[in-house]
Structure 1
Amino acid sequence: MPSERKAPAADRRSDPDRWLHERLAWLRSTLAPDRSGRCRPYVLTPDGTIHTRPDGRWEDRRWATISRDHERIWRIVRTSGEKPRTAIHAVPVQHTITVADRDSRTRARHARARLGQLRRWKNDVDEAVALGPDSWDTHDFGDTVRTMAADRARWVLVRLLAHVQDGRCAGCGIVPERLVRGVLCPGCNGGEGGGFGADQRESQLTTYRANPPAARFAWTYPGAEPNP
């Protein structure tokens, strides 16, 4: 069976530059490339995991059939010299470090861009909190939100709602482990959708529907037409 090699556990999301530095060093240690870049054969799965065979049995292999198990982890099913004709997921067996190196740099670049994006979004939240909820029902604030991309607006509004609600569920008032959609705890969110426990929470949800925390601000997501 192939051995699955995992890179050092530096957090790519919070420190992509450090992660890349450690990842590249780990790749060279694990794959042992020569001056031309040729290295131990390996398979790079879509999640960025490197799979190798310590016994060198992949030297003449060119393709690997992969699949995801019940935990959604990519595994090697088989390897072959020719590309499988019927395999749904087939990836090359790599013999140079180039692909692994390029994949690592791409992942770091995306993480760096995402980190910068989240910092800008957090600034939106901090500035709105500093102004206070009384300013959020103004046309200026509403226009600002409507000009945001949908994912940015949702990220910002969810956190502003959490601030208004003091981190508590708007339906039952408890402090959930995490807010769902920035408004309801998992139990009330399921009840709102008619799921398990809906009957037991109906009175609380009726109050929530009649006067949800965001009603006073008349927020709309980008692309949505405001109610007349």
Structure 2
Amino acid sequence: MTILDWPESERPREKLLQRGAAALSDAELLAIFLRTGVRGSTAVDLARTLIRQFGGLRSLLAADQTEFCATHGLGGAKYAQLQAVLEMARRHFSEQLLRGDALSSPQAAGDYLRMQLRDRNREIFAAVFLDSQHRTVAYQELAEGTIDGAAVYPREVVKAALRHNAVAVILAHNHPSGVAEPSAADRALTQRLQQALATIDVRVLDHLVVGDGPPTSFAERGWI
């Protein structure tokens, strides 16, 4: 039996159009992306197999090209399509952030930073630079390190703030381990950056640590 033999209300594409994308399971969403299955398996069957094989949809989306293309039912064309979809999602969040007020919309800032940093296998230190109205001017990745650290130099952050003519900044970095608990070194670095940026009248509004769950906010913990 093919998907076309299923009741219309159970077909992933028709279900999405009738009820919205949020109503679909991970396998159903992936099946729409795959479009076709393989011999003896529908697209939904293949999607379920892939999700089990990779240990979840997130791991599948984060797979590198070699791992992805070595999997039965996938290949270079699908990998290219997937990367295009992921990049469109990143740019969508970026445009939302650039149009909005990052301070009054912490959810948008958090979602965008998770999209940018959560699945990186090295620690990345980044910043969202803001103007005098706390509107987003730019997002910039300022340092890339190893799996458990990145060297961040206050002078480079100051130079970037001056280049973007920023008045305020939201700092962010990821923990590839998935645990978003700030370390003592994270807190010490934040204090050094606050002091350095204060010399050019740039205020640090928050520092977000990105892991598997919601980002941890220094501001919410009263550390900024």
Answer yes or no: same fold by TM over 0.5.
no
Is the radius of gyration larger for structure 1 or structure 2? 1
Higher relative contact order (CA 8 A, sep 6+): 1
Q: Which structure features the higher share of helix residues? A: 2
